[in-house]
A and B are shown apart, each in its own frame.
Chain A
Amino acid sequence: QSALTQPASVSGSPGQSITISCTGTSSDVGSYNLVSWYQRHPGKAPKLMINEVKKRPSGISNRFSGSKSGNTASLTISGLQAEDEADYYCCSYAGSSTWVFGGGTKLTVL
C-alpha cells in the first residue's frame, strides 16, 4: 500500500474557495467510493469532515464538499474562514479491510 498523494500546502484568503486533491490508484480511490477527509488542528484529535467521497457527517458545515474523478478525490472548502486553517488528510478504503491515508495538506488562511 502506497500513501495517497496530497499537495503539501495550499492557501487562500478569507471568503475564497480552495481545493485539495488526493491521488491514489485503481486499487484504492479508483475502486471504492469510500474516501474520507479529516481536519486536524494542532494538538487536537482529527475530525471527520467528509465520508463516502461527498457526504457530510452531522454538524459539518456545508462549506465543505467532496468529489472524486477516477483515482483522484478532492476536498473543496468555500467561503474560507480563519478557523479552517488546519492540516487536512484524505483516506481511502483499500480493500481486504485495509485503509490508506494521504500525506496531509497544510491549509493557510492568509
Chain B
Amino acid sequence: QVQLQESGPGLVKPSGTLSLTCTVSGGSISNYYWSWIRQPPGKGLEWIGYVYYSGSTKYNSSLKSRLTISVDTSKNQFSLKLSSVTAADTAVYYCARHTDTTYDFDYWGQGTLVTVSS
C-alpha cells in the first residue's frame, strides 16, 4: 500500500520560504506524477503543482513565480519550496500521487499545517 507523509516546519516567517518534503513509502516514485495541494483555513482545496519522476514540472499559474517543486528518486521523496510567503499562504499542505491515465489523485498524505506568522 502506497503511503505518503509530509514533513517540514510548521511555522514560517513572513517573506521567508516555506519548505516541505513528501516521503513515499510502499511503492516507487518512478512512473508517476506527484502533486502538492493545499487548503487555507475555511477555504477549499487548491492544486499547487506537480513534478514527474523525471523532474519535469507544472505549476499553478497563480503561484508559479514563487514556486519550486523537485524530486529525489534516490530517496523516494519530492519537495516543495514556496518563497516570499505571506499570511495568505497559511494552509494545510497535502502531497498526492496522480496518473496520466485517469487524471485523479489516488494516494494522499494526511496533510501538514503550515502557519505564516512572525
What is the total of A-B residue contacts with beta carbons within 8 Å?
71
B47 close to A99 (CB less than 8 A)? yes
> B11-19, B37-45, B75-83: which lies at the A interface?
B37-45
B58 close to A46 (CB less than 8 A)? no
A44 close to B44 (CB less than 8 A)? no
Asked whether A34 is an interface residue with its Cβ less than 8 Å from the other chain, the reply is yes
Contact of B105 among A36, A43, A97 (CB under 8 A): A36
B100 smallest CB distance to A (angstroms): 9
Q: Flag A43-61 by CB within 8 Å of B: 1 or 0 each.
A: 1111110011001010000
Asked whether A64 is an interface residue with its Cβ less than 8 Å from the other chain, the reply is no
Q: Flag B100-112 by CB within 8 Å of A: 1 or 0 each.
A: 0011111111110
Interface size on B, residues (CB 8 A): 25
Asked whether B94 is an interface residue with its Cβ less than 8 Å from the other chain, the reply is yes
Which residues of B are interface residues toward A (Cβ below 8 A)? 4, 35, 37, 43-47, 50, 58, 60-62, 94, 96, 102-111
Q: How large is the interface on A (under 10, 10 to 19, 20 to 34, 35 or more residues)?
A: 20 to 34
A43-B110, A52-B104 are known contacts. Are A101 and B94 too (CB-CB below 8 A)? Answer: no
A46-B94, A46-B105 are known contacts. Are A102 and B47 too (CB-CB below 8 A)? Answer: no
Q: Nearest B residue to A35 by beta-carbon distance? A: B104
Expressed in whole angstroms, the Cα–Cα distance for A51 and B99 within the complex equals 12
A29 smallest CB distance to B (angstroms): 13
B35 cross-chain contacts in A, Cβ below 8 A: 99
Q: Nearest B residue to A43 by beta-carbon distance? A: B110
Q: Nearest A residue to B45 by beta-carbon distance? A: A101
